[in-house]
Amino acid sequence: MKQKVLLTGFEPFGGEKVNPSWEAVKQLHGEENDEIRLVAEQIPTVFKQSIETLETLLQRHNPDIVICVGQAGGRTDITPERIAINIDDARIPDNLGNQPIDEPISDHGPAAYWTSLPIKRMVKEMKEAGVPASVSQTAGTFVCNHIFYGLMDYLGRTSSNVRGGFIHIPFIPEQTADKEAPSLSLDMIVKAIRIAAVTAARHESDIRTVGGATH
């Protein structure tokens, strides 16, 4: 049965002119085949407001699967995230100037939520397609982790069958002209997110392969 996959990308932040997460998912908007139908939306890079926007989108689109995507400048590969933690601790202000320090995202929520996406399968499929990828053990404590936690908390509170998670992506080359930072081409990022969507649509359970970190 065809599954509707909601993809979200963020507004640019931290002085960048583009956010590769939005540049990538907007290219996938409207793609459809026998397995998936992709819908892409942009989310403000703002604490709280990002979660409110996401909840509205969940109600509007009623997706089967949700994949939020965000920029992780400095990483070398595509990194599906394993876990969201219940804390906001902003190193820089968000796009409305909020800078929460050590505040819980949900006052009564658990310390952390696991992704419900098959992240190791995704990594395996991405690598087999020539896209560098690995599991990440931390989504940070900024708006990316915030929306990831907010997503999993909402899905839990609403006893939803919807599965969801978060993927961090590197800079794209146009962002690294003046920095010494790794990057991946936008084409490759688009390809990776398409693979993530298809993999999530095909498989509810994950595989057991090495994907941890010694620290």
Catalytic center residues: 81, 144, 168
Q: What angle do CA 166, 178, 126 make, to 5 degrees?
A: 30
C-beta separation of 150 from 105 below 8 A: yes
Binding mask 128-157 for a second copy (x = CB under 8 A): --xxx-xx-xxxxxx-x-------------
Nearer to a second copy, 184 or 197 (CB): 184
Between residues 32 and 204, which has the closer beta carbon with respect to a second copy? 204
- Distances from the Cα of 205 to the Cαs of 116, 122, 175, 200, in angstroms? 9, 11, 36, 9
Give the residue with the Cβ less far from a second copy, 5 or 143. 143
Q: Residue holding tokens 């998912």?
A: 25
Q: Least distance (Å) from a second copy to the CB of residue 151?
A: 15
Residue showing tokens 């982790």: 145
Q: Which is nearer to a second copy, 45 or 64 (by Cβ)?
A: 45
Q: Between vectors from CA 97 to CA 96 and to CA 103, what angle results, nearest 5°?
A: 105
In DSSP terms, 88 is beta-bridged to 103
**Parallel/antiparallel/unpaired status of strands 112-114 and 79-80:** unpaired
Residues 76-95 touching a second copy, rule: CB under 8 A, are 76-77, 82-83, 85, 87-92
Which residue, 1 or 177, has its beta carbon nearer to a second copy? Answer: 177
* Rounded Cα–Cα distance for residues 120 and 104 (Å): 28
- 186-202 and 20-28 helices cross at what angle (nearest 10)? 60
DSSP state of 174: G
Q: Return the residue of 34, 97, 177, 205 that touches a second copy, per CB under 8 A.
A: 177
With contacts defined by CB under 8 A, name the span among 4-12, 18-26, 47-55, 123-131 that binds a second copy.
123-131
Count other C-beta atoms under 10 Å from residue 204's C-beta: 11
Write out the binding residues for a second copy, residues 25-84 only, by CB under 8 A: 70-77, 82-83
| Residue 180 near a second copy by CB under 8 A | yes
Interface positions with a second copy (CB under 8 A) = 14, 70-77, 82-83, 85, 87-92, 99, 101-102, 110-114, 120, 127, 130-132, 134-135, 137-142, 144, 168, 172-174, 176-177, 180-188, 206, 208-215
